[in-house]
Amino acid sequence: MLRAMRAPHGALRKAPVSTGSALLSTGPSARCSRFLATKKEEKKVPPETPEEVTRKLREQRDYWDKQERSTVKTILSQWGGLLFFGFWCLVAWLGKQWAEYEMRLVEREEAEKTRRRKRKVPEE
């Protein structure tokens, strides 16, 4: 909600004609002056007493009742980000383990070929 700010006394006077530029004028723009002229009086509501505020807060209903939402929804709403991050960390860890397993197989296969070559080559 927009509220007009009260300017210091004399700040809204018209700019002298000799400036020749709208950027240098100290008066309100046409849009601002229309806004100030058409501003309606706001309804003035008496401030609430602390007792009334406390009573209203006690009467407020929670957005979700504990009976309305399931345990799964509660856990996902509170821990969802961590579960999402943990899931992708698990995917990355499984990929790493699989790559290391395949590398061990390749290294074992290469070691067997080297052993066979060493056996076949006669020593001099």
User: Is 3 a member of any domain?
Assistant: no
Residue 108 is predicted with a pLDDT of: 94
pLDDT digits 0-9 by tens, 33-43: 666 655 555 66
User: Is 62 a member of any domain?
Assistant: no
User: Is 98 a member of any domain?
Assistant: yes
- Which domain does 114 fall in, by range? 80-124
User: Is 58 a member of any domain?
Assistant: no
User: Is 68 a member of any domain?
Assistant: no
Quick one: pLDDT band at residue 30, thresholds 50, 70, 90? low
Residue 58 is predicted with a pLDDT of: 82
User: Is 15 a member of any domain?
Assistant: yes
For the chain, the domain total comes to 2
- DSSP letter string, the chain: ---PPPPPTTTTSPPPGGG--STT--SPPHHHHHHHHHPPPPPPPPPPPHHHHHHHHHHPPPSS-TTTS-HHHHHHHHHHHHHHHHHHHHHHHHHHHHHHHHHHHHHHHHHHHHHHHHHHSPP-
Quick one: pLDDT band at residue 119, thresholds 50, 70, 90? confident
User: Is 28 a member of any domain?
Assistant: yes
User: Is 65 a member of any domain?
Assistant: no
